[in-house]
Amino acid sequence: MTENATIALSTTVRQSNNQIAAELDGDVVLMSVDEGKFYNLIDIASEVWARLEHPMTVEALCDALAREFDASIDTVRVDVIALLDDLYRGKLIEIAA
């Protein structure tokens, strides 16, 4: 199974221990400790990141975001899963057991 295929609506995800996050000029900046790479999260991506401090299913995450931002649930799901795929490939989030 590829890494892209592991994030689904039923998947429970959370922030990994392989990252360190800090606020810089109002955005969230993440560093992958193992790889030394930087990631910049802006706008709603920062909100997604904050909610993943505790384990959460992707479906529950998307529902909450769609309600809060009054957005189409389908659009939110596509965008959030794409973001989570990126974060997972960067080892910044992990799949909770």
User: Which among 4-12, 24-32, 60-68, 72-80 is the span making contact with another protein, rule CB under 8 A?
Assistant: 24-32
CB under 8 Å to 73, separation ≥6 — which residues? 62, 63, 66
How many CB atoms neighbour CB 91 within 10 A?
17
Binds another protein by CB under 8 A, chosen from 3, 4, 8, 27: 27
50 lies in the site for another protein, by CB under 8 A: no
43 lies in the site for another protein, by CB under 8 A: no
Contact 11, 57 (CB under 8 A): yes
Residue 87 amino acid letter: L
24 lies in the site for another protein, by CB under 8 A: yes
List of residues contacting another protein (CB under 8 A): 20, 22-27, 29, 31, 33, 36, 38, 40
